[in-house]
Chains A and B, each alone.
Chain A
Amino acid sequence: DVVIATENVEKHPLQSRWALWFFKNVRSQPWQCNLRLVTTFNTVEDFWALYTHVQLASKLSSGCDYSIFKDGIEPMWEDSRNKRGGRWLITLSKQQRHSDLDTLWLETLLCLIGEAFDEHSEEVCGAVINIRAKGDKIALWTRETENREAVTHIGRVYKERLGLSSKAVIGYQAHADTATKSSSLTKNKFVV
């Protein structure tokens, strides 16, 4: 009876439907062939079903990414909803893969699906985690670099939610700048 009752409870709908993408670097294939849409979800319950089913980010091999984007937005600069935007970038040391990476990524996911950025949540496109030997990265993507108020609000809330020290500084980079330079050289448009 308990099982039946549980099944009858309505799931909790999210504001947006989200898509999980997985990227695995296979050098012999073009970049886009290495990027796969895993699935989409639009309830709290389905999010957790997915989260507990897939590998933790820290267990992925180097060169892999997870991306979570609003359904219909592809996790690439070229998408029309991304191309004028940018990203709040969190760069991690090698040691942090084992201490902080999974916690920071889960917190990022909860910010997205919970619409943590108030009226500016509509500016959010998605988030990406890159697993790399030289240091992992997490980025929160927004759609319009010029929306300074929204971008900085999102950055301040995001930094607080990640529990970063007030002395730590995170930067926001325009995709248009990242696309033309290596990310380590891209200048920050905003910092919080």
Chain B
Amino acid sequence: GKRQYDRDFLLGFQFMPACV
């Protein structure tokens, strides 16, 4: 199926250490 992500799920990754 299509990989849909809602905004809250995506925003949850914003400040994860792995992303900095």
- Using a CB–CB cutoff of 8 Å, the interface residues on chain A facing chain B are 6-7, 9, 12-15, 44-45, 47-49, 51-52, 107, 110, 113-116, 118-119, 121, 161
> Which residues of the partner chain A approach B9 to less than 8 Å between Cβ atoms?
114
B 1-20 to A, binary, CB cutoff 8 A, 1 in contact else 0: 01111110111011011111
Question: B5 touching A115 by the CB < 8 A rule?
Answer: yes
Q: List 20 A-B contacts (CB under 8 A).
A: A6-B18, A9-B18, A12-B5, A14-B3, A14-B5, A15-B4, A44-B13, A45-B19, A48-B13, A48-B14, A52-B19, A52-B20, A107-B7, A110-B10, A114-B5, A114-B7, A115-B2, A116-B6, A116-B7, A119-B2
Closest Cβ neighbor of A46 among chain B residues: B19
Question: B4 touching A114 by the CB < 8 A rule?
Answer: yes
In the complex the two chains form, what is the Cα distance from A74 to B5 in whole Å?
25
Q: How far is the CB of B10 from chain A (nearest CB, A)?
A: 5
> Which residues of the partner chain A approach B7 to less than 8 Å between Cβ atoms?
107, 110, 114, 116, 161
From B2, B6, B11, B18, give the contact of A45 (CB < 8 A): B18
Question: B3 touching A15 by the CB < 8 A rule?
Answer: yes
From A44, A119, A161, give the contact of B5 (CB < 8 A): A44
A115 with B4, Cβ < 8 A, contacts A7-B18, A45-B19 known: yes
In the complex the two chains form, what is the Cα distance from A13 to B19 in whole Å?
14
